[in-house]
Structure 1
Amino acid sequence: MIGTMSISAVSEYMPAALVGKDVSFSRVCTDSRQLAAGDLFVALNGENFDGNRFVAQVAEKHAAAAIVSEAQDVAIPQLVVADTAEALGWLGHINRKRSRANIVAITGSQGKTSVKEITGSILSQQFNVLVTRGNLNNNIGAPLMLLELEEQHQQAVIELGANAGGEIAWTAKITDPHIVLINNAAETHLEGFGSLAGVVQAKGEIIDSAPSTHTVVLNADDPNTRQWQERAGRRRCVTFALDASADYRAVNLTLTANGTRFDIESARGRIACFLPLPGRHNVANALAAAALCLEAGATPASIYDGLARVVAVPGRLCPVDGINNSRLLDDSYNASPSSFRAAIDVVAAINAGSQVRRVLIMGDMAELGSLTVKAHRDVGLYADACGFDELWSTGGCSELASESFGEGGRHFDDKDELINFAVDNMSANHIVLVKGSRSAGMDDVVQALRNKERI
């Protein structure tokens, strides 16, 4: 946090009643277990918890004050508001407005976390950078990241996620970015968005946060880009693409199991690059990050060095040494129909000799609504069409994929049964893709099947 802030500052943005004297603080905490003396405690509420219950506890730990939805009988000052999560957002916004850092904000249905990490890798070659940690990308996480902005930060990379319309409108508003990027829109979280059109609309909310003098970076390969360009109005739009005509293009791709060589071509010239991640889709993510960074002031040297130093993110098509000298690709963090196709394409493109056996270990995809049955069947059909030898599934819906896959498809009642079978059958000629939605917990399968001697 930059300097100190008074508890009453929030009242400039939302109705609030101060109980006790106005005090200052230099750190905000939402977890009573992590609170230190002098911190401001924000009592967040949810369906299954009430942060107000912990105010007495933080008072005993000498918190400076608390933001609450109901006044508590404690000695510390309190700011009473209708929505403590909104108050947290305004706290993050106040700190962001104090910062002189260039703020870039990233959203998209797929790849946004990879784009965030690659963007951070590039910008850190040249600037002091704050990058969103983990999945702190929602209405709670985004303001917590904004509160981490310090005087020394020159750039900030803020990831904005959503499960429903209106969420990005709020987090983008408090983030107030200088440059925004939409990586793509796909059929994810449909129970919250309703349809792909709902996803497109929601991702476009990030554009509305950018003043007319700021820049919008868009994926020209995404069929929805025209709609986002129209939404951008007079804002400056720049595009990137692997296939379509764009301001930034990736050309001369050479794909291997260990990474990809390619050139970035633009009006600025040509930049030769190496990305130590497999797959064409990772090149697309790297290109998105490079375009964003060049617009944010990065040099070609920073682009090259930043891409070369990218480290695979666990759960996102991360190469892992498997048991019995097999090769795992851990893509267990999340899943959607299009991300399944992209991951299958990566494994299918690996040139590992005629003896290799490609296996998909699949868990359920969540939040697909009426598309659930078709989406799972389509994964099995696509894996078969791309030359996979076997598909091992677990979960209530993934059995549809092992059935549509045909010969070589096998379903297991639970993950333990699947793991036991895999341990007995995986060998050095196996390349195994492990993927499913976060709720499927396929990271448990990865941990069970990795080569513990090489960790």
Structure 2
Amino acid sequence: MKKLSTLKIAQWVNGTCQEEAFVDGIKVDTRFIEPNDLFVCLVGERVDGHDFAQQAIDNGATALIVSSKLDVDVPQIIVADTLEALRMLGRSYRDTLNAFFIGITGSNGKTSTKDILKSLFSRLGTTVATYKNQNTEIGTYLNLFRMDEDTQYGIFEMGLDYEDDVALMASVVKPNAAIVTSLAPAHMQNFNNIEHIAKEKFKIFDHVQNEDLAFYQGDFEIYRELAGPRFHTFGYEDSNELVVSDVESSNRGISFKVNNQDYTCNLIGGHQASNCAGVIGLAQKIGISEDAIQNGLNQVALTGLRTELVTKFESLVLLDAYKSNPVSAKYALELLSEYQYEGDRIAVLSDMVELGSQSEQAHKEVLDEILKYPNIVKVMTLGPEFEMVINKYGYDKERFINDSTYESFEKRVKPYYHQHVMILIKGSRSYQLERLMKEDK
């Protein structure tokens, strides 16, 4: 981050500050405080950041943003609302940066697309800012503050949990370019229908600085209706501007064509070809050479908990535990079945949450998908939704086994690590199925 004066920050956020200090980092969590950081005392439903101000100072913070003056010995920027101040600070700081900004949203493929872009730009000898999967409003601001005058590219995921989430983040980032990936039901209790979700994702294009650098996955008719003749499309259907074809997948990655041009990528899973196509289209538009594009595609490092292959004792685990919805679950099951491995396959799945009225049908679709793959010999599920569907539709209970508690689920899964099997671990974020990979104490 650029070094900033607390007086300048106070001006940006319409706050008051009596003392000047200089900060070169902004944090909202005391665990990550570094020397010379500004700590923003956010107020949440359960936690008030003001209660941790002294801890932040003890950890090295040299200034605070607060909603009322505290009895601490560092400069304080006093504002009416600390979240609104963080938002205003993000907007003002973004305007000081000369980087090329890319916004990414979609139901699946956001992080993979971000990682592909990062690989491509990094190999051009440029400085790229992107961080893990911080795709919330606050995460967007924190990623902005990691950028400085040397940063040439900023890549931002924009998740959609509630109405206007994407619009708010895009209004701050003001992306030069944007990519919208796939469409699937998620957080459905917060939206009217799938069309509502599509409209919310498309709000990213309201803020893109150059519509000629706007791309979306064109295989979804809802997206097509929203876009009309605007923006560029990529996908598997021949009507797309960038047509993906001839996809082949192996343990080493994928090969595919985009408009009959051959490409390879080190990511596993044929569905990644679509994510690659969006990146290829954008890269070509901004003048990156084909050699540089191909080089970037072949050296992608994925963010953790997404299609990670991990050896666990005698087993091979496909860890994809960051989130789950019907589309991403089907992609993962296809990869589990088709991966070249001499041994049985086991699917370990948690409920997919926040699907609203579509939940029953979505869970049934996933179980029906498994019926296509006879080499997936055992399916262990966790949660009431899978349990209800298994019982209601009469799935074979020798093959489909549900647990209602994590403790019993864990006891059922862990013995399979000591067998020569391939195990998919796939679940919604709230279930934190990566816990299954921890060693027993």
Note whether the superposition's TM-score is higher than 0.5.
yes
How far 1:4 sits from its partner (Å)? 2.6
Residues 137 and 165, structure 2, Cα contact 8 Å, conserved in 1: yes
Asked if 1:168 is matched to 2:158, the reply is no
**Match of 2:189, as an amino acid?**
E
Q: Distance in 1 between matches of 2:427 and 2:54?
A: 42
* CA distance 1:238–1:159, shift in 2 (3 Å): same
* CA distance 1:92–1:432, shift in 2 (3 Å): same
1:255 alignment partner in structure 2: 249
1:120 alignment partner in structure 2: 118
CA RMSD of aligned residues (A): 2.8
* CA distance 1:288–1:148, shift in 2 (3 Å): same
Q: Distance in 2 between matches of 1:189 and 1:310?
A: 29
Structure 1, unaligned stretches of length 5 or more? Answer: 450-455
Q: Decide which of 193, 200, 203 is 1:205's aligned counterpart.
A: 203
Q: Decide which of 286, 298, 312 is 1:308's aligned counterpart.
A: 298
1:274 alignment partner in structure 2: 264
1:372 alignment partner in structure 2: 359
CA deviations on 1:125-151 (whole Å, 9 max, x unpaired) are 114233321222211110111111122
Q: Distance in 2 between matches of 1:173 and 1:377?
A: 38
SS in 2 for 1:172: helix
1:337 alignment partner in structure 2: 326
Q: Once structures 1 and 2 are overlaid, which stretch shifts more, 79-88 or 433-442?
A: 79-88
* CA distance 1:158–1:360, shift in 2 (3 Å): same
CA deviations on 1:203-254 (whole Å, 9 max, x unpaired) are 1121111236662111111222223424xx8xx6222112343232333322
Asked if 1:105 is matched to 2:117, the reply is no
Q: Once structures 1 and 2 are overlaid, which stretch shifts more, 100-109 or 380-389?
A: 380-389
CA deviations on 1:403-440 (whole Å, 9 max, x unpaired) are 44325122234444444444545676633222111112
Q: Decide which of 316, 319, 329 is 1:327's aligned counterpart.
A: 316
**Match of 2:327, as an amino acid?**
S
Asked if 1:441 is matched to 2:441, the reply is no
**Match of 2:334, as an amino acid?**
D
Asked if 1:242 is matched to 2:236, the reply is yes
Q: Decide which of 216, 219, 241 is 2:217's aligned counterpart.
A: 219
Q: Decide which of 280, 286, 289 is 1:290's aligned counterpart.
A: 280
Q: Distance in 2 between matches of 1:322 and 1:77?
A: 50
Q: Decide which of 410, 430, 434 is 2:401's aligned counterpart.
A: 410
**Match of 2:344, as an amino acid?**
R
Equivalent residues in 2 for 1:355-394, closer than 5 Å: 356-387=343-374, 388-394=376-382
Asked if 1:2 is matched to 2:2, the reply is yes
Residues 20 and 76, structure 1, Cα contact 8 Å, conserved in 2: no
Q: Distance in 2 between matches of 1:359 and 1:34?
A: 38
**Match of 2:252, as an amino acid?**
N
* CA distance 1:53–1:27, shift in 2 (3 Å): same
Q: Distance in 2 between matches of 1:254 and 1:215?
A: 28
Q: Once structures 1 and 2 are overlaid, which stretch shifts more, 113-122 or 55-64?
A: 55-64
CA deviations on 1:346-369 (whole Å, 9 max, x unpaired) are 23334557xx43321111111112
**Match of 1:264, as an amino acid?**
V
**Match of 2:269, as an amino acid?**
G
* CA distance 1:261–1:27, shift in 2 (3 Å): same
Q: Distance in 2 between matches of 1:117 and 1:302?
A: 15
Q: Decide which of 141, 144, 148 is 2:142's aligned counterpart.
A: 144
Residues 91 and 147, structure 1, Cα contact 8 Å, conserved in 2: no
Q: Distance in 1 between matches of 2:62 and 2:312?
A: 50
How far 1:303 sits from its partner (Å)? 1.3
Residues 378 and 401, structure 1, Cα contact 8 Å, conserved in 2: no
Q: Once structures 1 and 2 are overlaid, which stretch shifts more, 333-342 or 410-419?
A: 410-419
* CA distance 1:5–1:293, shift in 2 (3 Å): farther
Q: Distance in 2 between matches of 1:441 and 1:67?
A: 32
**Match of 2:244, as an amino acid?**
A
1:453 alignment partner in structure 2: none
Q: Once structures 1 and 2 are overlaid, which stretch shifts more, 56-65 or 18-27?
A: 56-65
* CA distance 1:213–1:381, shift in 2 (3 Å): closer
Structure 2, unaligned stretches of length 5 or more? Answer: none
How far 1:307 sits from its partner (Å)? 1.2
2:338 alignment partner in structure 1: 349
How far 1:372 sits from its partner (Å)? 2.3
**Match of 1:433, as an amino acid?**
L
1:66 alignment partner in structure 2: 64
Percent sequence identity is: 26
Q: Distance in 1 between matches of 2:291 and 2:340?
A: 31
Residues 178 and 214, structure 1, Cα contact 8 Å, conserved in 2: no
Residues 104 and 180, structure 2, Cα contact 8 Å, conserved in 1: yes
Residues 123 and 298, structure 1, Cα contact 8 Å, conserved in 2: no
Residues 2 and 99, structure 1, Cα contact 8 Å, conserved in 2: no
**Match of 1:28, as an amino acid?**
I
Q: Distance in 2 between matches of 1:26 and 1:426?
A: 46
1:129 alignment partner in structure 2: 127
Residues 259 and 275, structure 1, Cα contact 8 Å, conserved in 2: yes
After TM superposition, the score normalised by the length of structure 1 is: 0.86
Q: How many residues align?
A: 436
